[in-house]
Amino acid sequence: MRLVNNLLMGVDTAAQYKYAYNNAFSIRWKVKLLVIGCGQCGGRIADEFARLNRKARVQRGIDIITGTFAANTDIADLSGLSFITPDYHHRILIGGQKTSGHGLGKINELGAEIAREDSDKVIEAIRMSPQFAETDAFLLIAGAAGGTGSGAIPVLTQHLKERYIQKPLYNLIVLPFKYEEATEERTIYNVATCLKSSYLVADAIFLVDNQRYVRKDFSLKNNIVKINSLVVEPFYNLLCAGEEKKPKFIGAKILDAGDIIQTLVGWTVIGYGRSRTPLIRLPFGEQHDFRDKATETQKGIHAMNEAISELSLQCNPTDAKRALYLVTASPQETNMEQIKELADSLKRIATEAIIRSGDYPRGKGSLDVTIVLSELTNVSKVMDYFTKTIDYISAIKKRWEGIEYEHKGIEDAFRDIPSLL
Ligand SMILES: Nc1nc2c(ncn2[C@@H]2O[C@H](COP(=O)(O)OP(=O)(O)OP(=O)(O)O)[C@@H](O)[C@H]2O)c(=O)[nH]1
Ligand SMILES: [Mg+2]
C-alpha cells in the first residue's frame, strides 16, 4: 500500500509544479478542449462531446471544443459515429495493416503497440485541424476493459505530452459493467494496466463507472446511448461558463478556466444535479420574503446532494484534496447567501479539499450544480482492480510454471503489474 501511495504522491507533486510553472507564465487561462476518443467506447463518448459542442453553438453561440477525433482499429466502429466529421482526418484508422480494420479482441498490449506505431498519424491529423491553435487542454477518452482504447490511451497521452508539454492532458476512463468483470478474465487485467499507465502520464483522470449508470428500465443498447449522454452532461455548463462573452451571462463569482485547471489533479470524479421546482413569480414590485430565500437555498442543497449521489464513480468525498462546484441558474434564483450555504455544505463532506466555486447566470426554471472532486487519495475501486490483477497474474504464473507462487504483499506485487508504456 505504501509503495502505491508513494508512487501516486510522486506523480501528483510533479503535476503541481507543472501547474505552478504554467500559471506563472500565462496571461489568461481558457479551457477549450480538444477531444480524442480511443476505441469504440472512447469514440462514442467523443461523439457525444461533438454533439455537446454543436448544442453550445446553437443554444449559446459559443464553441467549447476545438476539435473532436476518434482513433480506432475498427472501421465499422468509426463508421457508426454521428457527430464527428466523417473524414479520415477526424475518424482515424490505426493499425490497419495489423488488424485489417477489425479491432483487437481485448488485447490491450496490442492496442498500446499500434498506438506507438501510429501516434504520428493521430498527432498529424489533430495538428492539421483548423482550430488546433486554440486548444488549451487535451481530453483523451477510452473504455479500460477493451483492447484498442485501453492500450492506446496511455500511449497517445504520453506522446501528446512530450509534444505539447505546456498543455494539460486529461483522460476520461470508463470502467466496465459488473457482469463484464465476472464473465471475461482479461477485463480486470486490462483495467488495471490501463489505469496504472494512464496515471503515470495524464495530469488528471476522470473515472466513470458504467455500473453507476445502469437503470433497470432501459435495455442495454438504450442504456449505452443514455449512459454516454449522462457521462458528458456535467461538462456542458463547466465548459460554457468560461467561454461566455456577454456580461449578463458572466457570474458574480467567476469560476474561470484557471480554477478548473488548478482543480484537476490525479484521480477525479464529476457529478451533476438539478433542481427543477420553478420559483414562485411575484407580481411586479413585490419582494420575495425570507421564506422564498430559504426555498432557493434548499433548491441549491437539493441539486448539490443529487450531484454528489450521481458522481461518475462512487467515492468518499473526504478523500478529495481539491473540489469545485458551479451553480447554473437564472440570476433571480441564485444569491450569494445560497452560494455560501453550498460551500459550507460541501466543506462538511469534502473536509480535506481546497474548494473553488462559481455561479453561471444561465437557464430558466432550474438550478443546476456541477461538482468535481479531484486529487482523490484513496479510490477503493481502483485499488481493488490492482489487487485482483496481482492475484490474476500470480494465478497465471502458477498455471504456467506449475509451481507455488509465493504470496507477496501488495507493495511488492504492485511492481508486477505490467505497464503499457
Ligand atoms: N459507457 C460506454 N461504455 C462502452 C461503450 N462501448 C463499449 N463500452 C465499454 O468499454 C469496454 C470495451 O471497450 P471497447 O471500447 O468496446 O473496446 P475497444 O477499445 O474498441 O477495443 P477492442 O474492440 O477490444 O479492440 C467495456 O467495458 C464496455 O462496456 C459505450 O459506448 N459507452
Ligand atoms: Mg472495438
Cβ burial of 383 (10 Å; 0-12, 13-18, 19+) is middle
In this structure, the residue with its CA closest to atom 12 of ligand 1 is: 146
Quote the percentage of the chain above a pLDDT of 90: 59
Q: What is the pTM of this model?
A: 0.86
Hey, how many other C-beta atoms are within 10 angstroms of the C-beta on 19? Answer: 16
Length of the chain in terms of residues written: 421
89-142 pLDDT tens trace: 999 999 977 777 676 778 999 999 999 999 999 999 999 999 999 999 999 999
Q: What is the pLDDT of residue 258?
A: 82
Query: Which protein residues have a CB closer than 5 Å to ligand 2 (ion)?
Result: 40, 74, 103
- List, as one string, the DSSP characters of 249-310: GS-SS---HHHHHHH--EEEEEEEEEE-PPPPPPPTTPPP-HHHHHHHHHHHHHHHHHHHHT
Q: What is the arithmetic mean of pLDDT over 156-167?
A: 96
Q: What is the pLDDT of residue 216?
A: 66
Q: What is the pLDDT of residue 62?
A: 92
E strands along 316-402, which residues?
320-328, 354-360, 367-376
The closest alpha carbon to 389, from 140, 115, 95, 150, belongs to 150
In this structure, the residue with its CA closest to atom 4 of ligand 1 is: 41
295-342 pLDDT tens trace: 667 888 899 999 999 999 999 999 999 999 999 998 877 777 888 889
In which band, very low, low, confident or very high, does the pLDDT at 417 lie, cut at 50, 70 and 90? confident
Hey, how many other C-beta atoms are within 10 angstroms of the C-beta on 264? Answer: 25
221-248 pLDDT tens trace: 678 999 999 999 999 999 998 888 887 8
Q: What is the pLDDT of residue 106?
A: 87
Cell of 275: 433542481
The closest alpha carbon to 400, from 409, 392, 408, belongs to 392
Q: What is the pLDDT of residue 25?
A: 33
Position 408 pLDDT exceeds 80: no
Q: What is the pLDDT of residue 20?
A: 38
- SS3 for 234? coil
Q: What is the pLDDT of residue 18?
A: 38
Position 411 pLDDT exceeds 90: no
Q: How far apart are CA 149 and CA 87, in angstroms?
A: 20
User: Is 93 in contact with 73 (CB distance < 8 Å)?
Assistant: yes
Identify any residues that bridge with 356 across adjacent strands, giving them in sequence order: 324
Q: What is the arithmetic mean of pLDDT over 6-13?
A: 39
Residue of 36, 38, 41, 92 to test ligand 1 pocket, by largest number of atoms within 8 Å of CB: 41
Position 161 pLDDT exceeds 80: yes
User: Is 302 in contact with 273 (CB distance < 8 Å)?
Assistant: yes
Hey, how many other C-beta atoms are within 10 angstroms of the C-beta on 219? Answer: 7
Position 343 pLDDT exceeds 70: yes
Measured from the Cα of 72, ligand 1's closest atom is: 20
Q: What are phi and psi of 252, to 5 degrees?
A: -70, -40
- SS3 for 220? helix
User: Is 66 in contact with 32 (CB distance < 8 Å)?
Assistant: yes
Q: How far apart are CA 35 and CA 79, in angstroms?
A: 18
User: Is 142 in contact with 115 (CB distance < 8 Å)?
Assistant: no
Residue of 40, 92, 220, 312 to test ligand 1 pocket, by largest number of atoms within 8 Å of CB: 40
Hey, how many other C-beta atoms are within 10 angstroms of the C-beta on 394? Answer: 17
- SS3 for 213? helix
Position 16 pLDDT exceeds 70: no
In which band, very low, low, confident or very high, does the pLDDT at 7 lie, cut at 50, 70 and 90? very low
The closest alpha carbon to 137, from 160, 159, 116, belongs to 160
> Which amino acid belongs to residue 123?
I
pLDDT, greater one: 288 or 85: 85
Task: Give the chain's mean pLDDT.
Answer: 84
Position 191 pLDDT exceeds 90: yes
Instruction: Give residue 150 CA to ligand 1 midpoint distance, Å.
Output: 9
254-291 pLDDT tens trace: 777 788 889 999 999 999 999 875 555 545 555 555 55
**Each residue of 296-330: b (16+ CB within 10 Å) or e?**
bbebbbbbbebbbebbbbebebebbbbbbbbbbbe
Instruction: Give residue 38 CA to ligand 1 midpoint distance, Å.
Output: 9
Hey, how many other C-beta atoms are within 10 angstroms of the C-beta on 10? Answer: 11
Q: What is the pLDDT of residue 256?
A: 76
Cell of 191: 483495467
213-222 pLDDT tens trace: 887 666 766 7
pLDDT, greater one: 254 or 156: 156
In which band, very low, low, confident or very high, does the pLDDT at 193 lie, cut at 50, 70 and 90? very high
Highest mean pLDDT among 35-44, 91-100, 377-386, 391-400: 35-44
Task: For residue 363, give every residue at least 6 positions away whose Cβ sits within 8 Å of its Cβ, in sequence order, or none.
Answer: 328, 329, 330
Q: How far apart are CA 90 and CA 202, in angstroms?
A: 22
| CA 292 to mean position of chain CA atoms | 36
Q: How far apart are CA 164 and CA 288, in angstroms?
A: 52
Residue of 174, 207, 222 to test ligand 1 pocket, by largest number of atoms within 8 Å of CB: 174
